Chains A and B, each alone.
Chain A
């Protein structure tokens, strides 16, 4: 079951943060098609936010076809995000961890890593891989 957390300083509205976190969980395979999202009551009991915000987030996700609400039963995940299989995702994550270990070993710190990674992303985007 997904646990939400909010960042009040991110400048992103609350309902969008919830949407992003659901999508993030889908991408990481933490949520799979058929899983039930927490009810609005469960979410607000933990976060102390207005239930309408949760409902708004779920409606947005439903609009994008990611979830569907079944009356009386709850809101369920319809499809996953991204094409990669969980196996591939796990492999790539291990490879990334290896890269990070060697980068730390070479004396880079966290901000160096972030700068390198961001630069590489931008290079890839420019090369038309987007």
Chain B
């Protein structure tokens, strides 16, 4: 049965492995190059780096942009898994009628399905897990100049830690389920191509709501610069507003009017000290990153398990 699974899926596995080898290799290259640039300029994290760091800073900027593009494109990998591994998995058998050959040998349907699904799910999880380890490492090499943390970055979060493994497994099973229901490889691939991005977009919208956010008031010394990046060393910034001395909430424009500072549209630390305004930050602390990972992985794996169960019951219950 292992032989059959390999023989039927060897090119899919080899193809994706080849693409991944290039992908991971490139990530490693980016990370090592960043490391080299950083080690050539020890003062790079300070506000005033040394003048001879100019070249290093340029290099790092360029590498970081490339990194961003690579991460963005890597979000397409689950689509490939869903369309090229998942959709044909069952649809091709049903379309070509070869299930009639497979089910009339001496191997039970349970074993047939368990090995086929097991091997491919395992491969998806493994490849996803390696991606989830390599990518954050590469990002980490840029930390001295770009102190990001994965919680706040939408695209990076999906490719870090345990989430890619769960995403790939989900994509595989989604494609397989579409294949089982539609019984046609092309149609299943098309449906997967449309459905997966919708699901991922849904996850992106749902993500901020996984946990209730934290809420803090900051004075001038502890405020964050507005407009604040979503991705801040302290965590994932959701909303920034201001509160005046009587406790009334103000949006940043209104607060800026109160500050009446012609040089700045929005309040500065000096203004907060002067007027007694406070900044209200709604955010998810960086330390909550593991929980977010856990919740997203849980959602994806629950859905995956449901689909796997559906496939299992449909295929194995043909006997009385």
Quick check: do A and B touch in the complex, using CB within 8 A?
no
Q: Which residues of A contact B (CB under 8 A)?
A: none
Q: Which residues of B contact A (CB under 8 A)?
A: none
